[in-house]
Structure 1
């Protein structure tokens, strides 16, 4: 776990710095500089692009990680990379043709409730394309165990550029309409930077000869397209569907709540950058016991870190929303519901990496497709009744069921189990800290209140976790931090 902890810590720090920048964007600059309507429009465009990006990437960002360790010679690796870089165009070309021919019909359908969407529909596939190839180049550096720079570009670089353009809107350098288009170019630029870095880590060359296992690659990629689409659909279909039922301003309120809740998933995102290729390697080599050990370690580590973040958010949520315009307060319940779904997904450790790299990935796909259909149905039922809270309810139910299904599949089929009694202790510590601090507020400015409560929650939570010795890796990090500040 040494390299995992090392790069995970770096990725976690980078990702949280990115979230601080993102918080300034999402909680202050977007609401005040763009206004509710254009903030909602931006959220809709990016969510829709995220839904289709697995298709634009043809699933090869996962394929690259799964099959890379099977190739031994540089020539085989070159042939493999050439094949997966070209493969996405099997989806991109038909999408481009259909999108061009039927653009008016598609745009009119998507702008039925909100006319403002019509002029920006064309940006959705372009951003999806950029997201897709960014992940492909990122996967190339991850298989070489160099995940930090890509994470920096994804989490910090993108947000810094967005901040610059938002400030440009404030000072009148850009119009709001120009900002929307500038956002698309930010994603294009990040993809080009990732390409140059990937080439620096390991030179990208081309050898257009089919790999010996090209059939297996095609089959796996085809299934992963659908699997990735299911996962992204469960994450972003709510915002996409909100556009069809409510005024676009509601997407702005929902986006703020989702952003706050998504902070909980940061530890998972950071750790998975490095555990995914390690999981693939262990599975290729058939090291079941080591894989099971990694599964348990990632589960408890993510539960501890994610639990602290969840508690910190929930005990401060009223103060956070007091800093926003009044209309946004309707998203508080959304934070609770989505936060719980993120937490449950978090405690499954590297579950997704295990499934996607196993021989059972096809079976789980069909379950995912069923749950995606279930999510769409729930959104259609709950959004017209409860608005953004309805979307959150649908998301919570869908993601929870999907997570339980994946967990049971890994336990039953692969005889891997992520939990021990320590997971229950971690849950109890989180509940204790929540009830101790949720109903307790200082009579200070909200920002000071947030800082003080966060410090107190962290001290109690970390102290209890350390005393209970729930994770050797977490305790090791705590000791190292204390040594650096001369307290140990």
Structure 2
């Protein structure tokens, strides 16, 4: 776990810095600089692009990680990389042709509730294409165990670019309409940065010869397209459907709430950058016991770290919303509901990496297709009746059912189990801290109150987890921190 801890810590720091920048963008600059309509439009375009991203990437970003260790010589690796770089065009070309000739009909359908969407629909596949190839180049550096700079580009550089252009809107150097257009160029820029770094880590050499296991690569990539589409649909279809049923301004309110709740998943995102290739390697080598040990460690470590973030959000959410325009206050319920689904997903550790690198991935993907149908149906029912709160309820039901299905599949079919008694102890600590701090408000400015309450709950929560030795990896990190500040001898 040494390399996991080392790069996970770096990725976590980078990701949280990125989220801090993203928080400034999402909670303050977007609402105040762009306004509700163009903020909602931005959220609609990005969520739609994220939904089609797996199609644009042809699923090869996961295929690259799974099969890279199967090739022993540089020649074989070059043949494999050439294949995965060109595979996406099997879908990109027909999608672009369909979009070009059918643009009017597609754009009219998507903009029937909010006409402002019509002239921007063409940007969705372009942004999706940039997202897709970013992930492919990012996967190339991951298999070489160099994930940190990729995290920097994805989590920090992207948001800094957005911040710069939001300030350009603020100073009236560009219009909100122009910002939406520049957003596409921002995603192109970060994709090119990732390409440059991937080439620096390991030069990309084209070798136009099919690798020996091309059929297996094609089959796996095809199913990963489904899996990625399922995951992204579960994450972003709610924003897309809000734009189909109610005013686009509601996407702005929903996006703020979703961003706040998504902070909970940052530790998972950071850790998975490095545990995914390690999981693939352990499964290739059939090291069941080591895999099970990694499964438990990732589960409890994510529960501890994610639990602290979840608590920090829940006990401060009322104060946080006092800093936002009054129209956004309806998102508090969404934060609680989506946050709960994110927390449950953390408990599953590296569950996704295990499934998508196993021989059972096909069965779970078909189950996911059923859940996408359920998600769309639930959103169609709840959004017209309950607005953004209905979208949150639909998402909670869908993601919880999907997570339970994946957990049961790994437990029953693969005999791997992520939980232990420490899982219950950690849950008890989290519940105790929540009830102790949620009803405790300071008579100060909201920012001061948030800082004070966050400091207190962090100290109590980490102390209890430390003395009860909930996570060995977390205790190891805390010991190093205490040693650095000279509170504990080596």
Q: CA RMSD in A?
A: 0.4
Answer yes or no: is 1:406 the counterpart of 2:406. Answer: yes
Aligned counterpart, 1:160: 160
Aligned counterpart, 2:3: 3
Aligned counterpart, 2:151: 151
Aligned counterpart, 1:450: 450
Aligned counterpart, 2:338: 338
Q: Structure 2: state its 5+ residue gaps.
A: none
The correspondence of residues 87-486 of structure 1 with structure 2, limited to 5 A, is: 87-486=87-486
SS, match of residue 70 in structure 2: coil
1:179-204 CA-to-partner distances (Å, cap 9, x unmatched) read: 00111111000000000100110110
1:345-377 CA-to-partner distances (Å, cap 9, x unmatched) read: 111000000000000000101000000100000
Paired with 1:164 and 1:188, the residues of 2 have a C-alpha distance of 16
Report the number of matched residues.
Answer: 488
Paired with 2:52 and 2:481, the residues of 1 have a C-alpha distance of 41
Paired with 2:445 and 2:183, the residues of 1 have a C-alpha distance of 34
Kindly state the Cα deviation for residue 316 of structure 1 after the two structures are TM-superposed: 0.1
Kindly state the Cα deviation for residue 402 of structure 1 after the two structures are TM-superposed: 0.1
Aligned counterpart, 1:32: 32
Paired with 1:479 and 1:453, the residues of 2 have a C-alpha distance of 24
SS, match of residue 83 in structure 2: helix
Paired with 1:127 and 1:437, the residues of 2 have a C-alpha distance of 42
Paired with 2:471 and 2:14, the residues of 1 have a C-alpha distance of 22
Paired with 1:428 and 1:185, the residues of 2 have a C-alpha distance of 47
TM (norm. structure 1) is 1.00
Paired with 2:180 and 2:406, the residues of 1 have a C-alpha distance of 37
Q: Structure 1: state its 5+ residue gaps.
A: none
Kindly state the Cα deviation for residue 84 of structure 1 after the two structures are TM-superposed: 0.3
Paired with 2:244 and 2:59, the residues of 1 have a C-alpha distance of 28
1:422-472 CA-to-partner distances (Å, cap 9, x unmatched) read: 011111111111111110000000000000000000000000000110111
Answer yes or no: is 1:41 the counterpart of 2:46. Answer: no
Paired with 2:318 and 2:482, the residues of 1 have a C-alpha distance of 31
Kindly state the Cα deviation for residue 483 of structure 1 after the two structures are TM-superposed: 1.6
Kindly state the Cα deviation for residue 299 of structure 1 after the two structures are TM-superposed: 0.3
SS, match of residue 69 in structure 1: helix
Kindly state the Cα deviation for residue 228 of structure 1 after the two structures are TM-superposed: 0.5
1:192-223 CA-to-partner distances (Å, cap 9, x unmatched) read: 00001001101101001001000000000000
Paired with 1:64 and 1:178, the residues of 2 have a C-alpha distance of 36
1:46-67 CA-to-partner distances (Å, cap 9, x unmatched) read: 0000000001000000000000
Aligned counterpart, 1:65: 65
Kindly state the Cα deviation for residue 486 of structure 1 after the two structures are TM-superposed: 2.1
Paired with 2:180 and 2:484, the residues of 1 have a C-alpha distance of 44
SS, match of residue 211 in structure 2: coil
Q: Which runs of 4+ in 1 moved over 3 A?
A: none
Paired with 1:117 and 1:228, the residues of 2 have a C-alpha distance of 25
